[in-house]
Amino acid sequence: MPLSLCKMRACGEIGSAVAPVQDDRSAKLPPHNKLQNGSGKDIGVALVVEDNIMIALGIEAFLEDLGVSNCLIANTVESALTILDLRDIKFGVIDVDLGGVTSRDVAMALRARGLPFVFATGYGEALPMTVDFPGVPVLTKPFAFHALAAALVEVGVL
């Protein structure tokens, strides 16, 4: 694993090298090291839709720590929809803005398939698009490992 990824994982936060962001949902979770490889249970294949490769790789590392068997990374709406058509996905982590294009179509496709997902964004929770998906957690970047784990608990993945 590249050194920069190790530093991101050690920091416990995606998208920043500062102290981890606190999240109200994370209070319900055990410490990070108790979640890593927790039950050894495979929670399936994740779709990570993110146009920043370093953030995508950081999310992938967190998900692998939680027991995801495989992360498929898409950096465009089109590639995400192709992956959904071709692979058996269990859940998604979706960036709201992919280089000026919203990921609305990906969220709608996941919802139509009955698959859980969470949004990740650098713009906060008040985005018009996220309002159309009530009950879907919104992670504000940078976010901590515990925030991602808590959001996945909230949607029933963990």
Q: Which domains does the chain have, with CATH numbers?
A: 39-154 (3.40.50.2300)
The span from the CA of 102 to the CA of 100, in Å, is: 7
What's the pLDDT at 3?
A: 29
Give residues with Cβ within 8 angstroms of 54, minimum separation 6. 4, 8
Predicted TM-score (pTM) of the model is 0.76
**pLDDT classification of 126: cutoffs 50, 70, 90:** low
pLDDT of 86 above 80: yes
User: How far is C-alpha 140 from the chain's CA centre?
Assistant: 11
CA-wise closest residue to 104 among 147, 46, 49: 49
What is the C-alpha to C-alpha distance for residues 91 and 62, in angstroms, rounded to an integer? 14
Q: In 3D, which of 122, 154, 158 has the Cα closest to residue 135?
A: 154
